[in-house]
Amino acid sequence: MHASYFQPHHPYNPVAPFSYMYDPDDMELPPNYVDPAGQGQFKRFTAADFKRTMAYYYGFISEVDYEIGRLLRALDSLGLSDDTCVLFLADHGDMMGEKGRLYKGLMYDASAGIPMIIRHPSAPSPGMVVQDPVSIIDVAPTFLSLAGIHAEGLQGRDMTNLLMGRESWQNNIVYSLDVRKNLSAPLLMARGERFKLIINRSKTIEFYDMQNDPWEQHNLFPSRKSAPEFIRLKEKLDAFWAVESKLLPERVVFEPRKHPPDAKPDRWPWLPNPRPTA
């Protein structure tokens, strides 16, 4: 069974009682929050705007938590919990004030990192937290394996032994790419357990020590460009893109959404008036 929830996602407008469950004044801006003056569409956002948005986002999360609780209780009532593997994950995160931004589409952990929770009846250590890097593409081979199905030719790795505590993926590297409408200017990322490499559309490079700098505030490039850990990630990312780029079409047909000439769409419907303008 597949259950999909839109929340939490822009526009941030949870229903009651989740819309007033969290007080904006109680929200703490992240350590890497910066004045969004130079952040394009968010340049007129205030700290209060971000805090209100965070409160609604937390409300969204509680709303989804409630709905998933209903599903789990249904499994219990049907006597299926001991014969069902449950996976909870998302396809992206949200900057939510980090670096003065909202939304997805960036390779910082707030955006590219996702929740992944797996409940398996045979798990030897319930509540175990796996710190090794894994990817969404590892889900298909894993769940096929858990169902006793061996499939060839799939991207990703079977996480079964990792989940059962029988092996470590400490040296694993995960990748992400975003080409949007411009194949000649991809946004690329390679992430190991400790270090992360980002190559932006402008070809600028960011290199972070995620162990000592989890908020990605100190770009180590170019000072560490000769370091073995940088060279390793760069070679791996170049090899990844060399393969993936051949699988993409020669061009992308992109039709921007067009509003009627007299339309004035509200970009920030969850914020009180007066609202920020881009």
Tens of pLDDT along 69-83?
Answer: 999 999 999 999 999
Extract the residue ranges of the chain whose pLDDT is less than 50: none
Ordered DSSP codes for 67-135: HHHHHHHHHHHTT-GGG--EEEE-S----TTGGG--SS-S-SHHHH---EEEE-TT-SSTT----S---
Q: Which pLDDT belongs to residue 178?
A: 92
**pTM given for the model:** 0.90
What is the side-by-side strand order in the sheet with 187-191? 174-178, 187-191, 195-199, 205-209
Q: Are 189 and 108 contained in the same domain?
A: no
Q: Which pLDDT belongs to residue 248?
A: 80
Q: Which pLDDT belongs to residue 254?
A: 60
Q: Which pLDDT belongs to residue 267?
A: 78
Q: Are 104 and 186 contained in the same domain?
A: no
Decide if 134 is inside a domain.
no
Measure the CA–CA gap between 43 and 100, rounded to whole angstroms. Answer: 8
Question: What is the length of the chain?
Answer: 278
Q: Which pLDDT belongs to residue 255?
A: 62
Residue 60 contacts by C-beta under 8 Å, 6 or more apart in sequence? 7, 8, 9, 12, 14, 18
Q: Which pLDDT belongs to residue 256?
A: 61
Amino acid at 41: Q
Q: Are 1 and 101 contained in the same domain?
A: yes
Q: Which of 99, 121, 143 is the last residue of a domain?
A: 121
Burial 251-261 (b: 16+ CB within 10 A, else e): eeeeeeeeeee
Decide if 159 is inside a domain.
no
SS3 assignment, position 195: strand
**CATH number of the domain where residue 201 is located:** 3.30.1120.10
Decide if 157 is inside a domain.
no
Q: Which pLDDT belongs to residue 257?
A: 63
Domain that holds residue 177: 173-250
Residue whose pair of structure tokens reads 């009532």 in the numeric block:
77
